[in-house]
Structure 1
Amino acid sequence: MVPRIANKQVFGFIAVSAVLAALFFLRDHNWPPADPAVVEVVPDPVIPLARALVPQATGRRDDVATYGNEVVARMPRVRRDFETENDLYGYVQRLDPAIRASDPDATWMASRAYDYCAGFAAAPVNYTRDTDAITALGLRTSQAMAAARQRVSQRCARFAPQDRLFSAVLLKRTEAAQAGSLAAEAALAASGRPLSDDEAYLRGLVMRVRQSKDPEAYLALSPAMGIAASGKPELADQVAGTQLTELAWQLAACELGMDCGPDGALMTAYCANGGICSREQGQDFKRFVYDAAVPRQGAEVVEEMVASLLGDGRG
């Protein structure tokens, strides 16, 4: 008998399985060449999960991904620590003085930690049960997915249901945006809660993100630049509106200094929350995208999009 998986997880598995089947079919058949199906990904965990009962974690990751260079090592400390600290509860506590002083980056990064841990913190016992069930399924990606979920459980172990992290994410992102965080402002727009509903606002926000060359802002805005942007005339001359463009924004964030290594938050979100895991151990996000998500004839299109996003911001 297959162990029970929480109902919300079952729906997630069904959806992910269908998307993955289509994605790999398209990759193997090189179709369509200019607009292949890819998986829509949100940078941080959003699928309701549960919290595992594990001992408090301490210390930092020793294998900080450098994405082929040393850009991650040059991150501002508040951002680097989010990717490397094994105890995100303690990380947020250390940010508290800066948050109280309305520091925009500290408040934004607290929201990222809350988002990373929110599903995990909601129901501790169920998270462990579901991770065990995933392992028992024996699928090709079961081991990788279980490992990613265990990484989340370790880093989020001190959060609890009473922390109400799902509510805290929106609260902190609103606070961060009001304090001047461009990444938080972009995240609010991507989640359907922009600071303004004016059409000119969204275009202006996109231009400000591109001009900033801030990897956090690029990543935060990426969900708004995929299919969600289709048909919006104010974004017609931007990298927006197709299934490839969201990935292009994420890849650009990697090039600008986001931790896109195998254990970074981005790869963890793909794998732990959606079962979209690399079959190759140690594969970073860029290699994963070009290896598993983009048909060969679509790679050049994505590369051109990324180059445009890293350019002068005009489109």
Structure 2
Amino acid sequence: MPATRVVKPLVLAALVIAVIALAITLVVPRERTIATPVTIDPPAAGTRASAGADTDQHQPLTTHPSSPHPVHKPPATAPQDNAPPAWPLAERLARSEDLFALATSLRPAAVDGDPAAMWTLGRIYDSCELLTVKYGANDDPNLARRRLETVTAAMPANAAAYHQRQFERCRGFVASPDSLENPEIWQTLAAEAGHPAAQMKAWLDRRMDANIAPPTRSRVMALIQSRHPDALAAAPRLLSLQMAAPADLTETTNELAWTLAACSLGLDCSPMSEATQIRCIWSNCAPDDPLQEVIRAETDPYIFEQASTYAERLRQHLSAGTLADASWLELQPMPGQDD
């Protein structure tokens, strides 16, 4: 018998078997694996969602469900510049060109007890208080602006630019001085409600009489670990580097190190930021220089190098959430401690 006549029946038989197997696969369902539901732990105390979508409540560090086998990552070695701000109201305050409108929008949430709204409202009132008192007695806003121009004409260029910008940001209060409220009252309430920057200011400012516990090293570090820009800005007044150096050099290095670290962790240090402009009021800063470059230009190179080294160590600890492990930081004496 020819070989081709034997092969053809075998090929046909193989095709029939394959079709039958495919049919069985389509008809008989496979066993399914039921996915185990993922549960998300509720936020820890102090991280609850606040009443408004635009509030500045601190967000938990973990925003995704925890894996049953946590992955331990090494400390970050570069600033997380692309991370969204954890304190959106601080961002709104820094960017706002109309502080009267911002205060008006925040006041209902502050009245309802939102800590971030109370703190920000106090910051606005504090920022606009002097300008309102100085220029707000006039019924005519144009007259107030002309008085401003007379005052700023005698100022250095940077000081004049900052003063004029603040006037424009606070122009609503200048036009309606009765709308200004006591900033310390709102900030005291924010401190008692647990806002980190407010609690730090309460320890430093005798005008605030907040009913909170006295500062300890661990408590101060926990508040700074929140990475609120105002808490970072106040950090060098509460924590100090341990350095084998004269007191004045340690103080300068400490202030610069915290400032540089804060710039890399969310504090607005751009050329037109409040932090930069205040530092440049009496300095000859280049108009396009951010705060880091301003500090570099006016600081002794050795001190700047020391401060930069400590700033990087601070940034790494704060990014990793391990500031409490920085044994080279000590609690500063509090104002009036020796009275």
- TM-score scaled by length of structure 2: 0.58
Q: Does the CA contact (< 8 Å) of 1:190 and 1:222 recur in 2?
A: no
Kindly name which structure, 1 or 2, has the bigger radius of gyration based on alpha carbons. Answer: 2
2:265 aligns to what? Answer: 256
Find the aligned partners of 1:128 and 1:305 in 2 and give their Cα distance.
46
Find the aligned partners of 2:300 and 2:242 in 1 and give their Cα distance.
24
Alignment of 1:99-178 (within 5 A): 99-124=110-135, 129=147, 132-136=150-154, 142-160=156-174, 161-163=177-179, 165=181, 168-178=182-192
2:202 aligns to what? Answer: 188
The answer to which of 142-151 and 117-126 deviates more is 117-126
Select the residue among 166, 183, 206 that pairs with 2:220.
Answer: 206
Find the aligned partners of 1:81 and 1:214 in 2 and give their Cα distance.
13
Find the aligned partners of 2:85 and 2:151 in 1 and give their Cα distance.
39
2:308 aligns to what? Answer: 303
Identify which of structures 1 and 2 has the higher relative contact order when contacts are C-alpha pairs closer than 8 Å and 6+ apart. 1
Measured against aligned partners, the alpha-carbon deviations of 1:261-311 in whole angstroms (never above 9, x if no partner) come to: 12112123334xxx334431121111111112x201111210122123221
2:274 aligns to what? Answer: 265
What SS does the aligned partner of 1:242 have? helix
2:254 aligns to what? Answer: 245
Q: 1:90 to 1:197 in 2, by over 3 A?
A: closer
Q: Does the CA contact (< 8 Å) of 1:182 and 1:209 recur in 2?
A: yes
Find the aligned partners of 2:257 and 2:294 in 1 and give their Cα distance.
13
What SS does the aligned partner of 1:244 have? helix
Find the aligned partners of 1:110 and 1:103 in 2 and give their Cα distance.
11
Q: Does the CA contact (< 8 Å) of 2:232 and 2:262 recur in 1?
A: yes
Question: How far off is 1:134 after superposition?
Answer: 4.3
What SS does the aligned partner of 1:158 have? helix
Structure 2: runs of 5+ lacking an equivalent: 1-78, 139-143, 330-339
Q: 1:71 to 1:285 in 2, by over 3 A?
A: farther
Q: 1:176 to 1:108 in 2, by over 3 A?
A: same
2:93 aligns to what? Answer: 82
Question: How far off is 1:202 after superposition?
Answer: 3.7
Q: Does the CA contact (< 8 Å) of 1:190 and 1:220 recur in 2?
A: no
Q: 1:309 to 1:210 in 2, by over 3 A?
A: farther
The answer to which of 242-251 and 102-111 deviates more is 242-251
More helix by share: 1
Q: Does the CA contact (< 8 Å) of 2:261 and 2:314 recur in 1?
A: yes
Question: How far off is 1:215 after superposition?
Answer: 2.6
Q: Does the CA contact (< 8 Å) of 1:219 and 1:250 recur in 2?
A: yes
Question: How far off is 1:157 after superposition?
Answer: 0.6
- TM-score scaled by length of structure 1: 0.62
Find the aligned partners of 1:180 and 1:72 in 2 and give their Cα distance.
24
Question: How far off is 1:195 after superposition?
Answer: 4.9
Q: 1:209 to 1:250 in 2, by over 3 A?
A: farther
What SS does the aligned partner of 2:215 have? helix
Q: 1:223 to 1:156 in 2, by over 3 A?
A: farther
Find the aligned partners of 1:194 and 1:307 in 2 and give their Cα distance.
35
Find the aligned partners of 2:86 and 2:234 in 1 and give their Cα distance.
17
Q: Percent identity?
A: 25
Question: How far off is 1:189 after superposition?
Answer: 1.8
Write the letter of the residue equivalent to 1:301: Q
Structure 1: runs of 5+ lacking an equivalent: 1-67, 230-234
Find the aligned partners of 1:194 and 1:305 in 2 and give their Cα distance.
33
Question: How far off is 1:112 after superposition?
Answer: 1.7
Kindly tell me the number of residue pairs found equivalent between the two proteins. Answer: 227
Find the aligned partners of 1:245 and 1:257 in 2 and give their Cα distance.
18
Find the aligned partners of 2:266 and 2:219 in 1 and give their Cα distance.
20
